[in-house]
Amino acid sequence: MIDKINQMNIQQLEYLIAVDKYKHFGKAAQACFITQPTLSAMIQKFEDELDVKIFDRTTHPIRTTDVGIQIIDEAKNVIDSVNELKNRASLLNNVLAGKLNLGIIPTVSNYILPSEIFDFLKENPKIELNVKEMTTENIIKLLKSGELDAGIISTPYDAANEFYQDFLFNEELMIYSSDTDFKKDSFVIPEEIDTNKVWLLEEGNCLKTQFENICHLKENSLKPKNLEFSASNISTLIQLVDKVGGITLLPELAIPQLSDIQKNKISRFRKPFPFREVSLIYYKPTYKQKILSEMALSIKNSLQDQLNFNKNPTEFVSIKPQ
């Protein structure tokens, strides 16, 4: 059977993997940019040639048979080997190329994806980057399962200790508040924050935990009434402060995306200024090491002169994400 599998071309193997992933011929065909009848015919041909049933079409969603699971695993191994060969060949030609699956926490992706990462891809057009926004826990889970090649998270993070951590940047954490809460240009004392006015991200977001750590919410067992509300992104929190009032935590890289009026609502904490560390994590060694190292270096160099921490590191204190 394995000999027959090896006779198939790479594209055909990718069709098999797509159907196994989506459990639906229509969605798999769309992902592969072919028609559903063509994909169905190709899969049927595979099964006839191998004299096995790879997919059980009587169930909804489609189920991969026990034999099919073994075939899919072999197909994934073949494609991984081919991709590694392509990457090694590109490196010999001094060209960065290959596919990369990257997970990024939402409180970082909004600010480095449209700028630093897009710039990196423009400089390296042969790299195919698949980016997914997700929580730190899901990034770690998918790294362990092999579905992601790397992740960008706030560090240090205990569950990420088994991965290689390539430091990217240190970013100041600031207060964004309605006009009446703080005087402009004044420094905010964490203990004086009215916790009943705090808007936080939903559970699972590191930035939520970091705000709690700064203001010692856990130690004081304070539970703001509006903690029952959960937001999945910072943009929602900014709109809430603008429309309703209150306070939220804002990473420094969010500031350039604010209007001039909104920038006047930014306040810094009293020294030492809190900051979060952000790193690229992945298993090492990997044949994608060169791509990951170059991407990390590109992000570091781009942000080096933009962030307050780099001007005077002694004035800052690290806030852990857990």
Highest mean pLDDT among 59-68, 161-170, 196-205, 218-227: 161-170
- pLDDT tens per residue across span 187-216: 666 666 666 677 777 666 777 777 766 765
Q: What is the mean pLDDT of the chain?
A: 82
Per residue in 65-117, pLDDT (tens digit) is 998 899 888 888 887 777 777 766 656 566 677 889 999 998 899 899 888 99
Same domain, 76 and 193: no
Residues 94 and 100: their CA atoms lie apart, in Å, by 18
Tell me: do 198 and 241 sit in the same domain: yes
Q: Please give the torsion angle defined by the CA atoms of residues 136, 139, 144 and 149, in that order, rounded to the nearest 10 degrees.
A: -140
53 and 78 both lie in a single domain = yes
Backbone angles phi, psi at 250, to 5 degrees: -130, 130
Strand spans (E) along the chain: 55-56, 63-64, 98-104, 127-133, 150-155, 164-177, 187-188, 247-251, 266-269, 273-282, 316-318
Q: Are residues 264 and 180 in the same domain?
A: yes
Is the same domain home to 194 and 258? yes
Q: Specify which residues 281 forms β-bridges with.
A: 151, 165
Q: What's residue 1's pLDDT? A: 46
**pLDDT the model gives residue 7:** 47
Same domain? 120 vs 61: no
Least confident among 162-166, 174-178, 299-303 = 174-178
Q: 230 vs 117, which has greater pLDDT?
A: 117
- Give the closest residue to 109 by CA, choosing from 126, 91, 76, 134: 134
Q: What is the pLDDT of residues 29-49, one digit of tens each?
A: 888 878 888 888 888 888 888
Of 274, 292, 308, the last residue of a domain is: 274
Pairing of strands 187-188, 164-177: unpaired
CATH number of the domain within which 260 lies: 3.40.190.10
Please indicate, yes or no, whether residues 225 and 163 belong to a single structural domain of this protein: no
Q: CATH number of the domain that 62 lies in?
A: 1.10.10.10
Q: Is 189 exposed, middle or buried (0-12, 13-18, 19+ CB in 10 A)?
A: exposed
Residues 161 and 220 in one domain: no
Q: Which domain holds residue 55?
A: 2-90
Last residue of a domain, one of 36, 56, 90: 90
Is the distance from CB of 273 to CB of 315 less than 8 angstroms?
yes
Beta-bridged to residue 182, according to DSSP, are none
pLDDT, residue 95, reads 62
Choose one of 57, 90, 123: the last residue of a domain: 90
**Opening angle at CA 211, ends 184 and 256, nearest 5:** 50
Helix, strand or coil for residue 249?
strand
For residues 52, 55, 56, 61, the Cα torsion angle rounded to the nearest 10 degrees is: 180
Same domain, 156 and 108: yes
pLDDT for the residue numbered 172: 94
In this structure, the answer to whether residues 53 and 194 fall within a common structural domain is no
- The domain tally of the chain equals 3
Residues 163 and 228 in one domain: no
Domain check: are 84 and 165 in the same one? no
**Angstrom distance (rounded) from CA 58 to CA 56:** 6
Q: How far apart are CA 19 and CA 32, in angstroms?
A: 10
Cβ contacts of 178 within 8 Å, gap of 6 or more: 241, 242, 244, 245, 246, 247, 265
